[in-house]
Amino acid sequence: DAGVIQSPRHEVTEMGQEVTLRCKPISGHDYLFWYRQTMMRGLELLIYFNNNVPIDDSGMPEDRFSAKMPNASFSTLKIQPSEPRDSAVYFCASSFRSNNEQFFGPGTRLTVL
């Protein structure tokens, strides 16, 4: 298996633009997680899904952020409109069960100018 796949790896956009981050989890994993990492706040869980259903989205910063998982092999995290404070590395991870090892993707480095 290729592991968790994220795209794009780098994204530079201007304030106010829509940004869509994509993730393909490891096949057979039932859990998918979206994290954000910054120097100031460390690793923060934004949302996670179980069997494509969002379970906890309490970490989503505000309504500008939305996440979907239309099927078991694909998820998106969308920011609309983007702001400079959204600049961070966004990681997607997947796991077989809720307290199993999480496998992280390489991350998407987002810069909002």
DSSP 37: E
- Choose between 5 and 72: whose C-beta lies nearer to other proteins: 5
**Does residue 25 belong to the site contacting other proteins (CB under 8 A)?**
no
- Residue 31 CA to residue 51 CA, distance in Å, equals 7
The rounded Cα 93 to chain-centroid distance in angstroms is 8
Structure-block tokens of residue 63: 């309504």
x-or-dash string of contact with other proteins, 55-84, rule CB under 8 A: xx-x--------------------------
Residues in the chain: 113
Would you tell me which residues interact with other proteins (CB under 8 A)? 4, 33, 35, 42-45, 48, 55-56, 58, 91, 93, 98-99, 101-107
